[in-house]
Structure 1
Amino acid sequence: MSTIALWAPAALALVLVITPGPWRLSRNVITIAHEAGHALTALLTGRRLTGIKLHSDTSGVTVSRGRPAGPGMVATAFTGYVTPSLLGLGAAALATADQIRPLLLGTVVLLGLMLIMIRNVFGVLSVVVTGGIVFAVFWFGGRDVRVAFALFIAWFLLLGGVRPIGELQRKRARGRARDSDADQLGRLTGVPGLVWVAVFAAVALGCLFLGGRLLLPDLMLPG
């Protein structure tokens, strides 16, 4: 691949994240990752997952049943905001290890499993469209297309994982996010919500730094 082709996924991801109109649409992908993090953690901690809803305003909700407090509930509330960044770091590791097909196929499988738990029409549409795009690239794309798309996935999750945390704190400052994940964690642990926002930001920025370290050497390779 040419140097331009390697830089293009990063540039496209950055444009989608910093431009208001495209971000409003593409942010649905970050919401899918966010709610998937809640759902997977709920299952891993022994909670009973009852459903996931994704809304057209890019918000979402994951409902699980179990103890209303304790480590399982804390872990479930915590993972939403950090999951996109952690997935981005994982995607960066797979892409730079030349595991492109496993990355794309694994993404399709995970979206398919998530689809089982979606409980509203917009959520189904969001997951089906996202999964359909990834599958089309996996099945029909040539190697260069698959590589570029895998790099885009990694960059978009890494960059897109940071912006919602800033948006969260702005809403909290205006008193518009009293039931946010950070505030739920505050009530569950006694640690102020602002501290949890800072932890979310530290994880997201750390993943962006580490993922960038993995991806940037590839971008600097000659064509």
Structure 2
Amino acid sequence: MLIYLMLAVVVTFTPLLRTVFGTFNTLVHETGHAIVTLLTSGKVYSVSLFSNLEGVAITGYRSWFSGLIIFYSGYTFSTLMAIASFHFIYLENSMMLFYLLVSFALVNLLLWVRNPYGIFWLLLFLLFAFVLELQGLNQIREMFIMLIASILLIQSITTAFTVFILSVMKSKQAGDATELAKLTSIPAFIWGMVFFGQSVLGAYYVFDNYF
């Protein structure tokens, strides 16, 4: 797993690889927003996935509290998903992660994602997953799952760190932290610190329990 984590770090800082593989974390992040929106009786209008690893979930929420947990859910869901990924691997049930990601991709493609890059990336991933299943390439699939789990962990930290820096330097351009600041009057940098702090705690939990 340490080798896969090192590969995930290389992927994170290599432009083309980051675009292809980092979008998994964007998919998880935006799906987190969408799931919480539906759980709070809101409406998901669209989801966009972009090649620069940014994403946008356009949602409608019914109350102040539902808006609060919807905006909070993205980075939190990414951290929880990273933990869950290693939990599945630890239990020798890594296929659960594979099918979960395929389900996220399929639902987003059918219901929400309409921007060109998002559609192309989702189709590419689903085609790749279909070929792995059809050809019974179990070893390659297992290696792929291990790499994606590592990328989700690394990206959960790096993206949270990025939004923390933005919340300090450009508080009006810090995405979810900015929206939470508008809702709560708590400064964006506090929310940025919360996102980054919980991602580090998530990584610590993974290393402490699964390595």
Give the structure 2 partner of residue 55 of structure 1. 50
1 CA distance for matches of 2:202 and 2:193?
14
Which of 98, 109, 113 is equivalent to 1:118? 113
Q: Is the 8 A contact 2:164 2:195 kept in 1?
A: no
In our comparison, the structure showing a higher alpha carbon Rg is: 1
Q: Aligned residue pairs: how many?
A: 210
Give the structure 2 partner of residue 131 of structure 1. 126
Deviations 1:55-102 (A, max 9, x none): 2332221111233x5111111101112222211111111111011223
Which of 177, 200, 204 is equivalent to 1:182? 177
CA pair 143-56 structure 1, distance change in 2 beyond 3 A: closer
2 CA distance for matches of 1:179 and 1:145?
37
Is residue 159 of structure 1 aligned with residue 154 of structure 2? Answer: yes
C-alpha RMSD of matched pairs (Å): 2.2
- Length-normalised TM-score, structure 1: 0.83
Matches within 5 A, 1:55-94: 55-67=50-62, 69-94=63-88
Identity rate, percent: 21
1 CA distance for matches of 2:23 and 2:13?
15
- Length-normalised TM-score, structure 2: 0.87
2 CA distance for matches of 1:176 and 1:84?
22
CA pair 19-161 structure 1, distance change in 2 beyond 3 A: same
Is residue 169 of structure 1 aligned with residue 164 of structure 2? Answer: yes
Look up the equivalent residue of 2:71 and give its one-letter code. Answer: A
Give the structure 2 partner of residue 206 of structure 1. 201
Give the structure 2 partner of residue 99 of structure 1. 93
Q: Is the 8 A contact 2:167 2:174 kept in 1?
A: no
CA pair 153-215 structure 1, distance change in 2 beyond 3 A: farther
Deviations 1:94-115 (A, max 9, x none): 1110112232122212211121
Which of 12, 17, 31 is equivalent to 1:17? 12
**Which range is displaced more, 141-150 or 114-123?**
141-150
Structure 2's unaligned 5+ residue stretches are none
Q: Is the 8 A contact 2:167 2:177 kept in 1?
A: no
Structure 1's unaligned 5+ residue stretches are 1-5, 217-223
Q: Is the 8 A contact 1:105 1:138 kept in 2?
A: no
Hey, which of these two has a bigger chunk of helix by percent?
Answer: 2
Pick 1 or 2: higher relative contact order, CA cutoff 8 A, min separation 6: 1
**Which range is displaced more, 72-81 or 121-130?**
121-130
Give the structure 2 partner of residue 28 of structure 1. 23
1 CA distance for matches of 2:49 and 2:188?
24
